[in-house]
A and B are shown apart, each in its own frame.
Chain A
Amino acid sequence: MRILIVEDEPLLARRLERFCHEILGDQLEAIRTATLFSEASARLDESPIDLLLLDLNLNGRDGMELLTRSVAGSFHTIIVSANTDQALRAFEYGVIDFVAKPFSRERLEQALRRLTGREGRGAGGARFLAVRKLGRVELVPVERVVYVEGAGAYAELVLDDGRRELHDKTLEKLHAVLPPDFERIHKSFIVRWSLVKALHAQEGSHYEAELRNGIRLPIGRQRYKELREKLG
């Protein structure tokens, strides 16, 4: 795992770094620290990261802009901040966790487990997905997303009006921040479960989910039985 720590308090940056080393051990591939996000973000393309630990003061326009820019990235974001009253908003924007300062090792471990652990899910409270478009970031309400289709390192959000938006995150990472209603039905598809009308088994172990708007999406062979039970 490659981690970037953005923290302007040197002692706290060191603390985060130390804890990451202790928790992740060998899993940690690279770790960098910066005092400002703008300094580090320029180098994100050449040296991509998996996780951003961001000290964020959401008060004011700058904080919000920083948040949307970070959640639009291909990496996960964990906010490490003293301003806990902003946690809810951070979750709405799709951060994977919000660690309040002062923090203990256990709390950070819990946050990191959200990424590495078996469940692999965040709090799932995202109400918006930040999409990078022509150099700026646009917010897509999660409630408009019908399903998500994986496209290599990216994911395509398919909205209720048929529009498609490209997201920098992988399908796995998106699944981690999307609400529990979103179900992974295929290695390339996440669908809003409440929109699924019926499951169909075609010939040749070919399974499909039929959505209310008539669209049919493929279902992974391993997932079919489980999903069948879930639909009842």
Chain B
Amino acid sequence: MTTLGRVFRSGLSLGLLAIAIRAAEGPARPERDWRHPLDWTQGTVRASVQRWFAELPPQLRYSEARWRPGDDGRWAGPEFADQDWPVTGYWNLPARAGVFWVRFRVRMEPEGARLPGGLLISTVMAYEIFWDGVRLGESGVPGNDRAAEVPGRVDRWFSLPDQLRQPGEHVVALRLSSHRCGFPAAQTGLRLLIDEPERLQRVAVREALVPTLAAGAAVMAGLAGFIMWLVAARRPTLLLLTGMCLSAAAMQALHAHRWFFQYPADWHYPVLLVMAFLVGLQGICLVAFLLVHFAVPGARWLPAALVAVYVVVSWWSPARLNLEGVHMLGIGMAVALACAGWAAWRRRQGAWPALIGVWISGAALSFEPSDYRTNFFVKFLPAMLGLTAALAVRLRDERLQARSAQLTAARLELELLKKNIQPHFLLNTLATVLETIEQEPRVAAALVEALAGEFRVLSRVAGEKLIPLSQELELCRAHLRVMSLRKEAPCTLDTTGVDETTPVPPALFHTLIENGLTHLRPRDGRYEFILRQERTPAETRYRLVARGVRGPEAAEPGREGTGLRYLKARLEESCTGRWTLAGGPVPEGWETCIGIRSAGGEGLTPAAAGGGLGEAAPP
């Protein structure tokens, strides 16, 4: 009984004590909601701003902000009761709505700590700032209309005097107007950082240093590329790479410029627009480079489609923070990644470095899209290096190709000359000359003359890659004159529908005629050759009919001999991959058909066929 009574009494007294303590604390006062500034931004501010707030010391706490349109000097005071003012986010302040005030409180946690001594405000609004009722300074002059407002600077540093940094709660009041903010959105905002002054100064350094370095590097690379384009190789990809470097350099320089040279706040929106345009340009250059370099299908419509997508994105994206840049860059990177992936899948030379570079840049961008202006070396450099590597691989391959083409050309020239001083032709001719000197000196003279004629034409054309058809016909006829005298049978060449300006590889028909004379025997005492040329926009077709009798033991004229090998090598040299050669017996003798497809819709021109520095088609 006593024990039970003791327990009861103790419980009662404890309960009374608790009630007494609660009573001593007074009535429950409305507890202010203190948060880290980052938490206030949640949902209202984009990632780029969150990043800034995340840097703040964790002990600093902000209250919710309250705002009120209108203008009253008393609103600056710390004691002013603003409980009935509507709560607002830092980024939900009205744009172009006359003068208004924003009030909020800050304090350190745990209590008793002094506040840091610096303040950095970034906004495009004009404002005055009051700290516990004391005017700290201003940026521009807030006004009730556009004419009355004077724009301030985008970023402004203030320092807190010692007496205003006491532990406890402080009231920050801002008198603002935003007629000149420029951004088309109905709301605008401000960013306010409170920290040690040296740390706030470092924000500027951090924001400006990397872009400055990047701008220097990119402008160097761009200029180097441009000079190469100007002097060494007029290839579009070099120009696109230059465009990418220079637009990146300009963007980085603009970003750095904000922190070095404070410009009026109403410049900020146009500057960001230009930067977004530059970012879009980089994306387009990147995609266009890959399209052209790897001959990706869709090279004609894809850049236009990309521009259209950019326009749509800029139209729809909230114009307040100018995030078009990030979106554009993201879309550009995605398309570029697809292009590079396609090229790697099709095993294009140099596709892998391009793919890896674009992939690194794209991945970095998708992990942390907001810092693309300040993180050039991670977000852009890998892609640029990848493209440069792809270009270098291409240049190397082309140099090797050019060298082997040079060797081929030299070898073919040699072959052509050798073909004509080969014993079978030259010594048989000389033997005939000997015979005619003794028997018919006049014929001998004609023969020597004809032979000299043939060698004259030959020496003129042997070094050429392509000669006009007229010269080729001249060579053929000179050869036929020699053979007429040697064979004592008229050897003739007739042409129908021939455009004598058409370029052809030297000794193309000469070789075929030689073959015909070797393997065929005269029909009705004569050798006749008929050359027909048929031209369509897509193809030029030559038909050479050798009229003669095919002997029983003579090899077919179409059999692969030195002559035909020479022919094929010449055709391959001048019209790589665009030629066909076929031959077969016809009732009159032998017909050879050579087709040359037009290069890219144009006819076969020496420039098109011999251009070494143009974009080489992939093999």
Contacts and interface: CB of A to CB of B under 8 A. Distances in A.
Pair from one complex: yes
Contact of B427 (A10, A11, A102): A102
A57 B436 contact: no
B6 interface: no
A101 interface: yes
Contacts of A36: 551-554
Contact of A10 (B433, B487, B551): B487
B486 A82 contact: no
A83 B423 contact: yes
A9 B428 contact: yes
Nearest to B427: A82
B424 A57 contact: yes
Contacts of B555: 60, 62
Nearest to A12: B431
Interface residues of A, number: 25
A104 B436 CA distance: 13
Contacts, number: 63
A62 to B, nearest CB: 6
Contact of A101 (B428, B436, B439, B561): B428
A99 B418 CA distance: 22
A38 interface: yes
B435 A11 contact: yes
A102 B448 CA distance: 14
A10 to B, nearest CB: 5
Nearest to A102: B431
Interface string B431-448: 111111001000000000
A11 B433 CA distance: 9
Interface in A12-68: 12, 14-15, 35-39, 57, 60, 62, 66
B504 to A, nearest CB: 27
Given A10-B487, A60-B561, A15 B431 contact: yes
Contacts of B428: 9, 12, 82, 101
A82 B423 contact: yes
A168 B434 CA distance: 36
B552 A101 contact: no
A60 B561 CA distance: 9
Contact of B434 (A37, A38, A57, A102): A102
B521 interface: yes
B521 A12 contact: no
B370 to A, nearest CB: 76
B97 interface: no
B488 interface: yes
B433 A102 contact: yes
Interface residues of B, number: 23
Contacts of A15: 431, 434-435, 439
Interface string A169-211: 0000000000000000000000000000000000000000000
B136 interface: no
Contacts of A10: 487-488
Contacts of A14: 435, 439
Given A10-B488, A83-B424, A62 B553 contact: yes
A37 B423 CA distance: 21
A37 B551 CA distance: 11
A205 B552 CA distance: 57
Given A57-B424, A82-B424, A83-B424, A103 B431 contact: yes
Contacts of B487: 9-10
Interface in B412-428: 423-424, 426-428
B227 interface: no
Interface string B516-551: 000001000000000000000000000000000001
Contacts of A84: 423
B430 interface: yes
Contacts of A12: 428, 431-432, 435
Contacts of A81: 423
Contacts of B554: 36
A9 B553 contact: no
Select the residue from A15, A66, A83, A102 with max chain B CB neighbours within 10 A. Answer: A102
A166 B552 CA distance: 29
A26 to B, nearest CB: 23
Contacts of B439: 14-15
A82 B553 contact: no
A151 to B, nearest CB: 32
Contacts of B552: 36, 38-39
Contacts of B427: 82, 100-102
B436 A11 contact: yes
Nearest to A84: B423
Contacts of B521: 35
Contacts of A66: 553
A39 B434 CA distance: 27
Nearest to A105: B438
Interface of B: 423-424, 426-428, 430-436, 439, 486-488, 521, 551-555, 561
Given A15-B431, A101-B423, A102-B433, 19 more contacts: A9-B428, A9-B432, A10-B487, A10-B488, A11-B435, A11-B488, A12-B432, A12-B435, A36-B554, A37-B553, A38-B553, A62-B553, A66-B553, A81-B423, A82-B424, A82-B428, A84-B423, A85-B423, A100-B427
10 contacts: A9-B428, A9-B431, A11-B432, A15-B431, A35-B521, A36-B551, A60-B561, A82-B427, A101-B430, A103-B434
